[in-house]
Structure 1
Amino acid sequence: MLRRLVRATTDTAGRGFTFWRRSIQARVVVSTVLLSAIVVGVVGWFLLQQTRDGLVDARVRTVVAEAGNETNDAETRLAAVPGTDDDVSRQLAQLVEPIILRGQSRGFDVVLSGPVDDEPTNLAAGGTRYSPGLELTSVPDRLVGHFDSSSSTAWTFTTIDHADGASEPGVVVGSRVQLPADRSFYTLYYVFPMQQERETMALVARAMLTAGILLLVLVAGLTWLVTRQVVSPVRLARRVAERLAAGQLEERMRVRGDDDIARLATSFNQMASSLQRQIRQLEELSRVQRRFTSDVSHELRTPLTTVRMAGDVLHDARDSFDPVTARASELLQSELDRFEGLLTDLLEISRFDAGAAVLDLDDVNLTDIAHRVVDMTRGLAEQRSTSVEVRATSEPCLAEADGRRVERIVRNLVSNAIDHAESGGIVVHVAGDEHAAAIAVRDHGVGLAPGEAALVFNRFWRADPARARTSGGTGLGLSIALEDTHLHGGWLQAWGLPGQGAQFRLTLPRRAGGVLRQSPLPLVPEDSEGSTP
């Protein structure tokens, strides 16, 4: 169950990544929304900070002014007390109780502490008068400590604690007054709540969040619409281009309007029409060339047969000729063999060009094919004073392929190696794995110059035009080998360096129609300079 869940998650993530990688519209929309979210977040944070600072500053100014008015009113009432009144308790009640009553109606609390002496003030020590339901912890110690050493009005932010366990933010303003009864100083603390400001900030934050979300949705929608207007013609052009590549040369883009997209569609259609004309011209030329090659090859069969018969008669009677005539008959026989091979290769090439080549599939053992080809070319190798050996495992290396064509590929590779071998011998490697089977032919001849590995399979191509073909080849062997390989859905690759020889690698899928991802044999041989294991 866990494995299936992990696999499903991996598949979903893979499809999502593929969609993200292929969809320009998705990337543009997501990028625009993310950038807009960052901008909206920064602007919203700045506006919230400014709103909060404005509300707090306004509230502080208001409560400081109100506390100052209450203190002035209290000092006025105390100034009106007769000098003969020395009842401290009654004067404290007359001082704080009217403020507490007004505070209950105006929404603030009051704390009266004192008298102030040389010892630090402790509100909880007793004698403190305060509004009902207020906890003395609502007055911060730092503000209490301030009035132990100073008589100036001060304020600070605090958290107001109530007896029922509730709490809320607030501002505490402290002022000092002198009581006439004992000529001592007492401190009045006015505790103003800021719950309304907090609710206002919460309302503003919700409004900004809602507006920001709606704005992002609007930006996403607008971006999607705008990019759709640009991406849709591009997608249409891609689909038309894919159909053109598939051979549907009549496909064209629909042109609407006179804007840049319309002009792009017009240019695309003109390009498609031009390509269609050129492709048809090339197809006609190719058809004529294939027909010419096929016709010439067939037409040459009859005179070649006649010349072959006459050449055989002369070659059989060469012992009765003088040495010059005998040598001429041998050269005629050799060139007739080469000419006949050339005609056979031309006919085979014409079948490839016409798409008439088919496979006769069977399970073949590449190791047996390699040994058979080496035995067939051993005489040619001995003429070049070189050796050919097969290196393979004892187990069969099987592949579903056309044995005749695979043998022709390997024979062409080995013959080409013999033509170019100079020292060190030729080694034919055979190996296979679960998905592929491969044969690599390694020689230590002149090698290939940079860029020649891509040209070596061209028809009639030679690295050195002055170099003779020892095997009497026609110049079409590697081209036919490449066509045979493509017919199997395989790879035929070449590697070479000047002075280090060359290696040709044939890789075939184990099963017909299989997809190759790697080869069991390295393309760069292990004995080359700078090769990696």
Structure 2
Amino acid sequence: MSEPKRPRRATHAWRRLRLRWIKFSQPVLGPFRGRWNNSLMVRTMTITGLVTGAMIAVAGVFLLTSVSNDLYSSRRDQALQDSARATVQAQRIIDSFDPADRGGLQSLLTSVLRTVQDTSASQMIDIRRQQNQASFPELSPVASTPSALSQAVSEELSTAVLVAEEPQYWQAVTFRGEDSKVAPGIVVGSSLKFPAGAGVFDLYIGYDLSDTSETLSFVQRTLLLTAAGMMLFIGVLVWVISRIVFRPIRVAADTSRRLASGETDARMPRQHDEHFDVLSDGFNDMADTLQARIRELDELSVMQQRFVSDVSHELRTPLTTIRLASAVLDGQQELLAPGQQRAVEVLSAQVVRFETLLTDLLEISRYDAGRVTLETEPTNLVHLVDEVVSSLRPLSSSLIEVRPLGGYTPVDVDARRIRRIISNLVGNAIEHGEDRPIVVTVDSNPDAIAIAVRDWGIGMTAADAEHVFDRFWRADPSRKRTLGGTGLGLAIAREDAAVHGGFLEVWSEKGLGSNFRLTVPRHEDITDYMSPLPLIPEEIADGAKNRDTTGGWLRRPFRRSIRAPKEGKA
């Protein structure tokens, strides 16, 4: 049998109530929830405080209930004993009266009232003829003291005294004085039998329990103050103990943070506890090992940088000699046989490639050694992109389109390095674009300028994209290269972007092409900025994956993204 559905109206009311609770509790509980999730000390103190508070509350309620019951029981028993004593004394006076003296019955009633007043600890006394009895002219039907008692006697108590199965009955009541002041109390009722046919009278004695209520209020205040003091004391105690217990953890966290920030000499002090001391010793041994390994790696890195730099410089001299010899042979090609001419052409091409490789190695060694200096000048990046693309168009059969959407205002950059980045990106797009169109987009915002190079070539997998900026890495080493290359182009391009305070990113999917995006800030003091161009192409982000292989790839996205430069945009 399926579960009955909740009514729609109830569901909407529940949702409104939940939203109101979230709106109310978020400003109050939001900061505490964050501290609760991020601090073990806060969780420990909160749980300890709640458990302690619950225990104190249970103990306080138990003590208050016990004291209240004991006080009330004691005061009630005292009132019953007092009332029984007064009733017995009054009945003795009545029994000693001469029944033949009917005229003295009124004096007897007054004497009984005075005897009860003298015998009882209370002055609230009410003597009245029982219900359903004939009137007796010689005797007044009522003799009482304050009216508050007569108002407090209930019909239930009167009926119980009338039946008289017990010597006396009591009832908890509330007395209201003439000034409307309310006081708790007890009324005890019993019966008095008068002689000479005068009948039976009910005796009610009221006992004011205001003093007991005040005593109970004093006990309540004392318990509350004691509970508050205990909670405060326990809270301070838990806080101190938590600080002591969690101190080694804070020291370990601070030491690991310092070690992670580069302070290789940071060590964890001993805490004079066998378990934490084992942790400290193990952590310090690990830090010593890491420091030794880092020192070895630094030395190896310095040696590698020096080796690359020295080898690059040392190869300059023989390379210059080979280049001069190649130039001489190239000038005498007409005197050589056809096979020798081809060898000279190959030699010249390889000498140029070797020289490019040496230049890239020297550039990488400068970055590794941290000796790179920028020669900045105001540069129009749109014109720079046009120059680079114009120089590379003759080397490609692909359609290369430049879309200047912004970036016309000159910015201070090292034009040689930016030109090298764009040449590398466009060259890679030509190399892997499968002769399909290439789009170079330039755009800007108030903080940054971006250049994106999009191709619809073979693309890369996510694993390949993670290594595309590694040195000497190729996604497919078996592919034929059109423009040559050293394998250091993208690595140098990323370093060139970083030295400008920018970043170089890539998006790529197998069969959908690639998109490289360069973003640089407009000024050196801008450290927080957003790229004006998306990294993931619009047609991919919108889910439009049209794989038209007829040469007009993704023509709809092409036309959709073409638009004039934004008016007034830098």
Common topology (TM > 0.5): yes
1:353 aligns with 2:365: no
Give the TM-score normalised by the residue count of structure 2.
0.78
What is the aligned partner in structure 2 of residue 304 from structure 1? Answer: 319
**Which letter maps to 1:416?**
N
- RMSD of Structure 2 on Structure 1 (CA): 3.5
Is the CA contact (8 Å cut-off) linking 1:397 and 1:437 kept in structure 2? no
What is the aligned partner in structure 1 of residue 145 from structure 2? Answer: 131
- SS of 2:187's equivalent? strand
**Which letter maps to 1:63?**
A
Shift of 1:515: 2.5
CA deviation vs aligned residue, 1:412-433 (integer Å, no higher than 9, x gap): 2222222222365222333333
Shift of 1:114: 4.6
Distance, in Å, in 1 between the alignment partners of 2:145 and 2:284 is 88
Mapping of residues 87-102 of structure 1, within 5 Å = 89-102=106-119
Is the CA contact (8 Å cut-off) linking 1:436 and 1:516 kept in structure 2? no
Shift of 1:184: 4.9
Shift of 1:350: 0.5
**Which letter maps to 2:305?**
R
Give the TM-score normalised by the residue count of structure 1.
0.82
Shift of 1:352: 0.8
Is the CA contact (8 Å cut-off) linking 2:161 and 2:190 kept in structure 1? no
CA deviation vs aligned residue, 1:39-78 (integer Å, no higher than 9, x gap): 3223322322232233223333333343344344444444
Mapping of residues 271-282 of structure 1, within 5 Å = 271-282=286-297
Mapping of residues 54-73 of structure 1, within 5 Å = 54-73=70-89
**Is the alpha carbon distance of 1:14 and 1:68 closer, same or farther for their aligned partners in structure 2, counting shifts above 3 Å?**
closer
Aligned to 1:461, which of 468, 473, 484? Answer: 473
Q: Which moved more, 1:69-78 or 1:461-470?
A: 69-78
**Is the alpha carbon distance of 1:374 and 1:163 closer, same or farther for their aligned partners in structure 2, counting shifts above 3 Å?**
same
Distance, in Å, in 2 between the alignment partners of 1:18 and 1:398 is 46
Is the CA contact (8 Å cut-off) linking 2:126 and 2:150 kept in structure 1? no
- SS of 2:462's equivalent? coil
**Is the alpha carbon distance of 1:176 and 1:328 closer, same or farther for their aligned partners in structure 2, counting shifts above 3 Å?**
farther
1:47 aligns with 2:63: yes
1:111 aligns with 2:126: yes
Aligned to 1:270, which of 285, 308, 319? Answer: 285
Q: Which moved more, 1:262-271 or 1:522-531?
A: 522-531
Is the CA contact (8 Å cut-off) linking 1:143 and 1:155 kept in structure 2? no
Shift of 1:221: 3.1
Distance, in Å, in 2 between the alignment partners of 1:80 and 1:528 is 117
Distance, in Å, in 2 between the alignment partners of 1:146 and 1:390 is 108
Is the CA contact (8 Å cut-off) linking 2:461 and 2:508 kept in structure 1? yes
Q: Which moved more, 1:270-279 or 1:214-223?
A: 214-223
Shift of 1:283: 0.5
* Number of residue-to-residue matches in the alignment: 507
- SS of 1:172's equivalent? strand
**Is the alpha carbon distance of 1:416 and 1:117 closer, same or farther for their aligned partners in structure 2, counting shifts above 3 Å?**
farther
CA deviation vs aligned residue, 1:117-163 (integer Å, no higher than 9, x gap): 49xxxxxxx9764434x635861656457559855654433332223
Q: Which moved more, 1:275-284 or 1:495-504?
A: 495-504
**Is the alpha carbon distance of 1:340 and 1:435 closer, same or farther for their aligned partners in structure 2, counting shifts above 3 Å?**
same
What is the aligned partner in structure 1 of residue 268 from structure 2? Answer: 253
Shift of 1:26: 5.2
Is the CA contact (8 Å cut-off) linking 1:100 and 1:131 kept in structure 2? no
**Is the alpha carbon distance of 1:531 and 1:228 closer, same or farther for their aligned partners in structure 2, counting shifts above 3 Å?**
farther
Is the CA contact (8 Å cut-off) linking 2:521 and 2:529 kept in structure 1? no
What is the aligned partner in structure 1 of residue 564 from structure 2? Answer: none
Distance, in Å, in 2 between the alignment partners of 1:284 and 1:156 is 97
Distance, in Å, in 1 between the alignment partners of 2:522 and 2:123 is 90
Distance, in Å, in 2 between the alignment partners of 1:366 and 1:116 is 114
CA deviation vs aligned residue, 1:343-387 (integer Å, no higher than 9, x gap): 11111110111111133345544434433333233223xx2x322
- SS of 2:460's equivalent? coil
